[in-house]
Amino acid sequence: MDPQPKRVAVCGGGVIGVCTAYFLAKKGAAVTLIEKSSVACAASGKSGGFLALDWCDGGPLSSLARASFNLHRSLAEELNGTESYGYRPLTTLSLTITESGKQGQSSRVQNLPSWVDGPARDLRAIGSTETTAQVHPQMFTKTLLSKAVEKYGVEVVIGKVESVGVEVGRVDSVVLEGGRVIESDSVVLALGPWSGKFEMLCSLFRVYGLRAHSIVLEPKEPDAITPHALFLSYYPAQGGKPMDPEVYPRPSGEVYLCGMSSEVEVPEDPEQIVGDPESLEVLKRVAGTVSSHLVEGEARLKAEQACFLPCTEDSVPVIGEIPGVKGCYVATGHNCWGILNGPATGAAMAELIVDGQSTIVDLARFSPARFVGRRRKS
């Protein structure tokens, strides 16, 4: 046994940072998690929490997604996820909704959940309880962190990371705004869409933020809503291209809807993120068209919000050691699959940092070294 545990500073208190801190501490590292605002305050608190085993098959994320889906299942057993953060398997459906269609015409569509009583057609099952599931993302992230703190001694520091201290090509500390220095043998930068504002990272590759909107509704009759996730092709009454909103009923009785994404500048402070009022109104209209249980008056609007998904130019996350800086690692750019891929990313990072290589997932495809020599797009 190493008499001195490896000191690791994990920067970023979203799902990627928290999963990394959890698995590092579980492997015996002395972990400090640094978050500038509050844990899971951005996309990790406001996303849908949808999990899919095989939706990334055939692409670079396939092994990461499969490993992570299975890790979610085992974590739910370990942490009583059903009770503590709303983990449950789901049936997932794809359907077309035409806003100007006649209400009630969906009664002719076989196998449609009874609460989906809007003008629906083209129903297809695209996920079963074996291949799709969900969590409440904020509750998942906070439950995992609580376990990491209570059982494995992770220390949480609220502060803004100003810079990473590097001595002769190797990391030795993290410097916070205000001057506090946290000495570290390794540093993990899990800054989500704020990676694009951190000099050490943005000089090597571009991470941009895709702003996605969501609303949370509390129907008066929550028991009427069955555990079916809906992926819609939604044709608005005024014509134009179909939109692709998503609907996730939660075991708490709430129903979460999301969609209406666009690339805009990420604000400095996550607490300053606001949604576009027009986009939020569209989501309310979608809710009421999909189901009479979700119209205004039948469901209370619990939240209307926006968050930024961290995206890379090649649509592949960046996970690994930063070239030329020993002991400095990055994990970001997970786009809409951050909640799904958080556990396997965290477990792989912990193996990489403590053991020198990852066995749960081959991280070669995700390495930041792929950007060396490329001319970075601004």
pLDDT at 39: 81
Instruction: Report the distance separating Cα 141 and Cα 256, nearest Å.
Output: 18
Q: Answer yes or no: is pLDDT of 237 > 90.
A: no
pLDDT in tens, 259-296: 888 788 887 777 778 888 898 999 999 999 999 999 99
Distance between the two ends of the chain, CA-based, in angstroms?
Answer: 46
Residue 207, pLDDT > 60, answer yes
Q: What is the 3-state secondary structure (H, E, C) of 150-191?
A: HHHCCEEEECCEEEEEEECCEEEEEEECCCCEEECCEEEECC
Rg of the chain in Å (alpha carbons):
21
What's the mean pLDDT when you consider all of the chain?
A: 91
Q: Diameter of the chain by CA atoms?
A: 71
What mean pLDDT do residues 108-132 have? 91
Lowest-confidence region among 112-116, 153-157, 271-275, 312-316:
271-275
Q: Which residue has the tokens 């000495």?
A: 183
Please state the rounded mean pLDDT for residues 286-311: 93
Q: What share of the chain is helix, strand, coil (3-state, %, to 5)?
A: 30, 30, 35
pLDDT band at 1 (very low <50, low <70, confident <90, very high): low
Q: What span, in angstroms and rounded, lies between the C-alpha atoms of 288 and 260?
A: 16
Sign of the CA dihedral 351, 352, 354, 355? positive
User: Taking the C-alpha atoms of 246, 19, 182 and 267 in order, what is their torsion angle to the nearest 10 degrees?
Assistant: 0
302 pLDDT above the threshold of 90: yes
* pLDDT tens digits, 18-57: 999 999 999 999 999 999 887 877 787 889 999 999 999 9
pLDDT digits (tens, 9 = 90+) for 334-363: 998 999 999 999 999 999 999 999 999 999
3-state secondary structure 101-148: CCCCHHHHCCCCCCCCCCCEEEEEEEECCCCEEECCHHHHHHHHHHHH
d(CA 365, CA 270): 30
The answer to whether residue 245 scores a pLDDT higher than 90 is yes
pLDDT band at 103; cut points 50, 70, 90? low
Give me the residues paired with residue 6 across strands: none
pLDDT for the residue numbered 106: 46
